[in-house]
Amino acid sequence: MKKPGVSFAQPRPLIRWSVHAAIVILLTALTQIGGLAWLAAMLLSRRFRGTRRAIAVLAMFVPLYGLGSALASVVAPVFGRVPLPCLAEQGATMHMQSMLYCVLNRQYVVPELKTAALALSAHMNSSFPGTTTLTLDGNFPFFDGFPLLPHLSHSDGRKLDIAFYYNDVAGVFRDGETRSPLGYFAFEQLREGAASPCEGRDDVVTMRWDLAALQSLWSPMALEEKRTSEAIRWLSDEGRAYGVAKIFVEPHLAERLGVSAETIKFQGCRAARHDDHIHIQVSK
Ligand SMILES: [Zn+2]
């Protein structure tokens, strides 16, 4: 006799395949290889049915995704990408701000960009001993033109975001810490009389999110201006020898930090704000 109340285990095929398709698309958009791992898990769990199959897919997905991610780091150099350091290691001056970036395979860049970022971090640590430089989104391990959402331009391994440096409320530098959990979206607000080229615009299609509701949730830290301005200055000066061709910084922040150079640019009013992190890109 059939048990009542477990109908979710036998959804109609169309619904079931739509759910799997949505999961594959989401995992691919988030991690590049996650969708493939999901498809492989589905294939390997064919002999199960209903709830048991759903559990089997989930149970197989995790190790398959882990294996795929490990393989990606070995194969990525064939595609011209290398991974940035994920973990804080003894004596190292740079690592990803959160392991989540590495879990999602978003720590890949072209070798010359890795060299530039490591040179920046070495400079920062020699100028301010005990300073770790934290990296944010880079790119996925494979293929040019594969977008790293929600970024508009991180699709060729030549772009990397770097976290700001922060002080605590007492004005003491907090090495390896950021205001927001992932280093993004803790915007530096405009000060009285500061440059505000986007003021008064009412763009319908825009990625210039202010995320006002989130701002009070972040840690009450303050931008460490000396380190942040020195990092931008180095990138726009010595960084050029490493191929750094473009640095996005919001105009009001560049003004406040006293940095200006041909390579320090404003990304425009329809792209994401750049007063919560530094975006750099290396030329071809
Ligand atoms: Zn960026």
| One domain, residues 190 and 51 | no
Residue 13: its pLDDT value, please? 76
Give residue 263 CA to ligand 1 midpoint distance, Å.
15
| CA 157 to ligand 1 center in whole angstroms | 11
Tokens of 195: 């440059």
User: How far, in Å, is the centroid of ligand 1 from the Cα of 111?
Assistant: 17
Domain, as residue range, for 22: 7-77
| Mean pLDDT for the chain overall | 89
How close is the Cα of 182 to the center of ligand 1, in Å? Answer: 14
Query: How far does the centroid of ligand 1 lie from the alpha carbon of residue 82, in Å?
Result: 17
Same domain, 31 and 168: no
**In this structure, are 222 and 105 located in the same domain?**
yes
Task: Mark whether 253 and 144 lie in a shared domain.
Answer: yes
Which backbone phi and psi does 110 adopt, to 5 degrees? -70, 150
Domain assignment present for 1: no
> Quick one: 111 and 28 in the same domain?
no
Domain check: are 162 and 238 in the same one?
yes
Gap from CA of 78 to ligand 1 centroid (Å): 24
Distance from C-alpha of 245 to C-alpha of 231, rounded to nearest angstrom: 15
- CATH code of residue 144: 3.30.1380
- Is the domain of 233 the same as that of 125? yes
Q: What does the pLDDT average to over 202-222?
A: 81
Number of domain units in the chain:
2
Q: Are residues 130 and 15 in the same domain?
A: no
Boundary (domain end) residue, out of 62, 77, 92: 77
Q: What is the predicted pLDDT for the residue at 203? A: 66
H helix runs in the chain, sequence order: 13-31, 34-44, 50-75, 99-103, 111-127, 212-215, 225-236, 251-257
Residue 19 in domain: yes
Any domain includes 157: yes
Q: What is the band of 10 on the pLDDT scale with cuts at 50, 70, 90?
A: low
Q: What's the CA-to-centroid distance between 171 and ligand 1, angstroms?
A: 28
How far is the centre of ligand 1, averaged over its atoms, from the C-alpha of 152 (Å)? Answer: 8
In-domain check, residue 52: yes
Give the tens place of pLDDT for each residue, 114-158. 999 999 999 999 999 999 999 999 999 998 988 888 887 898 999
Amino acid letter, 176: G
- Whether residues 248 and 162 share a domain: the answer is yes
92 within some domain = yes
Q: Note whether 116 and 102 are same-domain residues.
A: yes
Distance 41 CA to ligand 1 centre (A): 33
Interval between CA 22 and ligand 1 midpoint (Å): 26
> Do 241 and 116 have their domain in common?
yes
Whole-number Å distance, alpha carbon 280 to ligand 1 midpoint, is 7
**Residue 68 is assigned to a structural domain of this protein:** yes
Whether residue 2 is contained in a domain is answered as no
Token pair recorded at residue 207: 């990625």
How many angstroms separate the alpha carbon of residue 88 from the centre of ligand 1? 22
Roughly what angle, to the nearest 10 degrees, separates helices 225-236 and 111-127? Answer: 140
Predicted local distance difference test score (pLDDT) of residue 7: 47
Calculate how far, in angstroms, residue 273's C-alpha sits from the geometric centre of ligand 1: 10
Question: How high is the pLDDT of residue 150?
Answer: 86
Domain stop point among 56, 77, 98: 77
Residue where a domain terminates, one of 77, 101, 125:
77
Over the stretch 29-45, which tens digit does the pLDDT of each residue have?
999 999 999 999 999 98
Kindly state whether residues 202 and 117 are assigned to the same domain. yes
Bigger pLDDT: 4 vs 139: 139
